[in-house]
Structure formats: C-alpha cells, structure tokens
Amino acid sequence: MGNYSDSGEWADIVPIPQNDGGPNPLAAIAYTEEYSEAMGYLRAVMADNEKSERILDLTEHIISMNPAHYTVWLYRANTLFELQKQNQSDLQEDLLEELHWLDGISLRHLKNYQIWHHRQTLMTHLTSLPSTELPFLARMFAKDAKNYHVWSYRQWLVRHFSLWDTELPYIETLLTADVRNNSAWNHRWFVLFGQHVDPESGKGMDEVGNIVDEDLIDREVEYTKAKIRLAPQNQSPWNYLRGLLRKRGSLVECQAFAEEFGGDVDGKGEGCRSSRALDFLADCWAEEKEKEKAGKALELLAKRFDPIRKNYWNYRRELLGLGAVEA
C-alpha cells in the first residue's frame, strides 16, 4: 500500500505506470516502490495538465527522492505560475516562499544543476533581487568555493540584475581568503569585462569598438602582480595577467616582473620560483623574436620543472622552429 493509493485526496487519479518496454524489459530500472508510485501519479496529472496545490506537494515529494529529475522541476515551476494566475495571489510573495524552500534543497545537494535552473526561472519573475539571495550564495560558497553551478548562476544574476558595480568587494574577500580560488579569478574577469560584451556578437567592446580602459588595466595589472607575489606558482593570476596584457596587445611590459620568478634561464634554471613565470617569459621572448631564449625556457619546463607535459612544451618549441628535447 502506498502514500497516494491510500489517500482520499488522490482517489480521483488513476496512476500511469512506468513503461520499460513490455512485460519483460531488457534492463528495467530498480526504482523504489515509493518513487514508482509517486511518478505514476505524476504521469497521470501531467497527462491531464493539472495545475493545483496538490501538484506542489507531489513534486516536492518526488524531488526529495530524486532532485535531478528536470521534468519534475519544470512542471513544478509551471504549476507555480499557473496557480498565481488562478488565485490572483502575490507572485513575489509566492516566489520568495519557494526560494526559501529551495535553499534547503540546495544545501543538501550541492552539485545539482536542475536546482539552479529552477532558481533562475524563479528569479526571472522577480522585479528586484531579494535581500536574502547574496547571503545565501555566500553560504553555498562556504561549503564549496568552486561550485561551478553556483558560479554560473551568480554570473547570470549579476547580468540580470545589473550588479556590476557592487560585486567586486565580495570577489576581493574571496581572493583574500584563498588566492588560488580560480573560480573567483574567473568571476573577477567577468565582472570587470563581461558587462562590455556585445550580446549580439559575443565580442568585447575593445574588439568591436577599440575601447580599452587603460586606467582599469593598470589597476588590475598591479593588483594581479601583488597576488602573484603571494603564490608565484598559482596559475590563475598568471592567466589573468595574460588576459589583461593581451587587451593592450603585448605581454612584454611585464617581462621584468616575470623574470623575478623565472630564475637563471641561461643555466639550469637555478632560482626559478615559478614554472608559470617561465611559460610567461617564453611567450615574451617569442614575441620579441628571441627564439633561442624562448626555446631554452621551454626546454627547462620540459626537462626539469614540468616534465609531465613534455609533449606540450616540445610542441611549443616546434612552433618556434626548434627541435624536441628529452625529459
């Protein structure tokens, strides 16, 4: 006996069972009896396109058993919006209540992307950002500071509610706590340069209109150099620095800075504190047509500082017209 078959509330519904391919399916999924029953009732109400309060209870039950079922999330969202029309209720209040319920689900299932799609769907119907939203995201990042789904959602949130001017202090807090947080570095780039992306072409304004904010680049270069000094082997700020300098067209302006960490390239690499710096210097020297010097940096990477990627470094040497080296 089940939850729904014994309930008078559901007596009018004839559940539709799962069809796994006939009476003797090749590989039937071993659902629990509770889940199978709930899904049978959901199929039935979906067939009738029913949108009612009991649908919210049913979908909540199914989500508690399988939070990755995207069809259930979609039907729940459509039911919420339809009920608001039927009841002429306060949509904002209803959605805030749904968000509060969703918070608990999110904290229990950190890597579930359907949850975040549902949250985004709710947010598109709100006229302003709820005061509880950013503190909730901070709780999520406290559990996993590099959660891809949460970061993707936060980027959407920044663009949707135009949070460009208020986001930077929070990113700096994250990078102060963990300078190796590559997700925070990526978000910093998005906040500072993503707002200038042309939504039609996908290109930055410096590409479509030749607009580069030199003061911003100067400030970010100095900020990034300070973070590199804290952890010279951290790849994220080196990549960030490359992106900044390429907006100006050349890496060479930071060559002397990279040499602080690159060590003795002409010898055996004594004093090298960062293979990332060697990689950066190789590109600087290649840009300046100093192929032999660039090749020596790549050789040190292949033979001493990063031999696991020997083939990649030799590929880079081949692009310079130089031969491969053995690790």
- Tell me the two tokens of residue 56: 């919210």
The catalytically annotated residue of 51, 85, 111, 291 is: 111
Task: Please give the single-letter amino acid code of residue 81.
Answer: F
**C-alpha span between 98 and 18 (Å, rounded):** 29
Q: Copy the structure tokens of residue 253.
A: 């302006």
17, two tokens: 């069972």
CA distance 109 to 196: 34
- Please state, in angstroms and rounded to a whole number, the distance separating the CA atoms of residues 302 and 300: 5
Helices (H), the chain: 33-47, 53-65, 70-87, 91-108, 113-123, 133-143, 148-161, 168-177, 182-193, 205-208, 214-230, 235-248, 255-262, 275-287, 291-300, 310-319
Are 180 and 238 a contacting pair, CB within 8 Å? no
Q: Is 111 a catalytic residue?
A: yes
Catalytic positions, please? 111
